[in-house]
A and B are shown apart, each in its own frame.
Chain A
Amino acid sequence: MKGKKLALGLALSVALGGMAACGSGTGTGTAGTAAPSASGGGRGPLTFASGKFEAEATQKIVDAWNAKHPDEKVTSTVLPESADEQRRKLIQNAQTKSDALDVILIDAVWTSEFAANRWADELPADTFDASGFLPPAIDTGKYRDKLYAMPLFTGTGLLYYRKDLVEKPPTTWAEMTAACDRVLPKQKGMSCYGGQFDKYEGLTVNFSEAINSAGGEFVDASGRPALTSEGAKAGAAFLADGFKSGMIPKEAITYKEEEGRNAFQEGKLLFYRNWAYMYESSNKTDGSSKVAGKFDVAPLPGRSGIGAGTLGGNNLAVSSFSKHKETARDFIAFVTSAEQEKAFALINSTPLARASLYDDPELVKKYPYLPALKEGILAAKPRPKAVKYGDVTAAIQESAYAVVSGAKPADQALTELQAALTPLLQ
């Protein structure tokens, strides 16, 4: 009997201890969030969480800052490569109210979630001058008309096309299919068009692009989903019919960025939608790409005229749990200054958010796609802004995958998506 009691007692004390710990945890937590956003100040060394792709360029900028600010040195830590992993890491950091990270690099679509949960601080309008930036990029850093994050990178989908087979890039879907009908009979094993259609964030991007490029829109002016419009249906039908007719090869349903890039580099696609990063790697002459020097880029085509790409990008924000917020804001202003962004662009091809870089002769010579990209970004549409963006994109992927796999008629999938998004976008 005693043994049993002992075991029970242990279990209870552990359980109660756990409860007590949880209780006090939430208690101090609420108090803790109020404190830093109220005080807002503090100067001192920083930790900057950045992505892996841009590590080299980031380090250069950080070194430049450190040379000028010996008392407020910045250390950069590299987050995991995949966006999902990064998000999990940042949320974990926020939920434990850790001050381990001061300046964080967040995906453009996470702004609402980070702002609404008070994981990122509002940026005072007077410290940041938004005028030099591409307007759609600045907009991704806002939540309820207040600025929470400064855009650093930006970008949208580009149409990669084979300039050796097509003289002039198509501006409409009809022109694109006409070009395919003309070229493909003579090209064995080549398909017309590819994008990213596996079930992940890329599908949300591609699906939004189809709908926006057909004259539809994901959310109307009042912020409600608008997927039952004629334009939305035409956009979904473009993808559904594309897969049905073979204009989009059926294996494109397994494509993420890299699988599609391989197909394009193998000469299996006449047109391919991807981000700007592919320009450099597909032009490598080390034998990895069969299309080096044979392709060019253009803005995405649409139903009647140039289409609307989906806006991507990454923004810089101040963590709400930072102890040195004043320095953190200064550092963000430094990184996003015209001088540093250009230095960044000269090292790394990830497109940046300042408008002037796209007309800079030195950069245009290095990255010939910049004019096409600027045109694309100015016409680009953001993905829906939502505090629960994770739920929104999951719902979009669900319906979009049903459309591209032919599991459901486009109309039915859109009606279901409208119903699923309505409670999420209020």
Chain B
Amino acid sequence: MATVTTDRPGPAMRPPRRPGRRAGRGRSWPAVLMLSPTLIVLALVVLYPLVAAARESFYTSGETLDADGFVVEGERFAGLANYAGVLGERFLNAMFNTTLLTVVTVSIEVVLGFAMALVMNRAMRGRAFLRASILVPWAVPTAVSGLMWKWIFQADGVANAVLGTDILWTAEGVYAKFAVIIADTWKTAPFVGLLVLAGLQIIPGEVYEAARVDGASARQTFWRITLPLVRPALLVAVLFRLMDALRIFDLPYVLIGPRKHSVETLSGLIWDEATRVHYGPASAYGTVLFLYIALIAYVFVRLLGADLLSDVRTRKKEA
């Protein structure tokens, strides 16, 4: 028992497929038992809503009226009818917007956040103040920052006054996309900065000293030392931001408004369907969004996340 647990911490939490673990499993029953309350809670709060939503996506209700004008009660099995909208213009537009906003904002945020982290990592006067002020946008609730940016982007707002333009940022059009990208970047680049900073601070100073002794240029130091060593932290930051950006809802909703095609995201579409009491299509779109996010996370971890799992792999090899 003791040897098993020191070899592989937390055996019950692992996917039980690995052949090397078969020997220990019989003896891990007490651990499974002790973990079962956790598993039940997880199943209730994670699995049940997913299963319920997936089930709901195959049913319709409240669609027909009887002779007296009352809505016929009860649910009716609808097969794949709720998924028909997935091929519609509105869904594809929302899918495109979600993907575009994700790719653009995450790319900008990684570059900006990295720069912020490098600045924050410098030893200089007023560093604490600088760090705190960079983190302020992250601390503001999204709905509040949405309102703030709405005020900046309104027709007679600060943005137009500063730029000397009279752009209608909050009306339909490409400027609405810009407005959302700017506001989102402002808010979440500090988050990336914070995680990258944590990664930067665990790089030992001796590595840089050695590089300096060997005569490495600043650029070489960055590409050969800083970037590879900070990569695990950076990947975690990017993964978090990807997940977050794919389900973005409140910022476009508050800043531009619901049902505006230029910035309608999948979450926005789902919200709109649900508020119009179309729970079937809302669940169908929700299920698709869930699968989309799961797919992206999987691909991301497979392609780029080697470092995230390298720790696990080395341990597996040792075993």
Contacts and interface: CB of A to CB of B under 8 A. Distances in A.
A29 B73 CA distance: 9
Contact of A14 (B47, B73, B154, B172): B47
Given A3-B16, A4-B16, A117 B170 contact: no
B70 interface: yes
A38 interface: no
Counting contact residues on chain A (CB < 8 A from B), the size range is: 35 or more
Interface in B259-282: 259-260, 272, 275-277
Contacts of A199: 172, 257-260
A10 B38 CA distance: 12
A390 B71 contact: no
Contact of B257 (A7, A18, A144, A198): A198
Interface in A13-53: 14-15, 18-19, 22, 26, 29-30, 33
A198 B40 CA distance: 47
Overall SS of chain A's interface: helix
Interface stretch (A251-259, A303-311, A410-418): A251-259
Given A3-B16, A254-B168, A390-B277, A200 B69 contact: no
A19 B25 contact: no
B218 to A, nearest CB: 47
Contacts of A118: 70-71, 73
A253 B75 CA distance: 40
A67 interface: no
Contacts of B55: 18-19, 22
A405 interface: yes
B276 A394 contact: yes
Contact of A33 (B16, B17, B73, B260): B73
A254 B26 CA distance: 67
Given A26-B74, A87-B275, A199-B259, 19 more contacts: A1-B25, A2-B26, A3-B28, A4-B16, A4-B17, A7-B39, A14-B51, A18-B55, A29-B73, A30-B74, A88-B275, A116-B71, A199-B172, A199-B257, A199-B258, A199-B260, A200-B258, A387-B65, A390-B277
Interface of A: 1-4, 6-7, 10-11, 14-15, 18-19, 22, 26, 29-30, 33, 84, 87-88, 91, 115-118, 143-144, 198-200, 250-251, 253-254, 259, 387-388, 390-391, 394, 397-398, 401, 405, 407
A3 B71 contact: no
A254 B51 contact: no
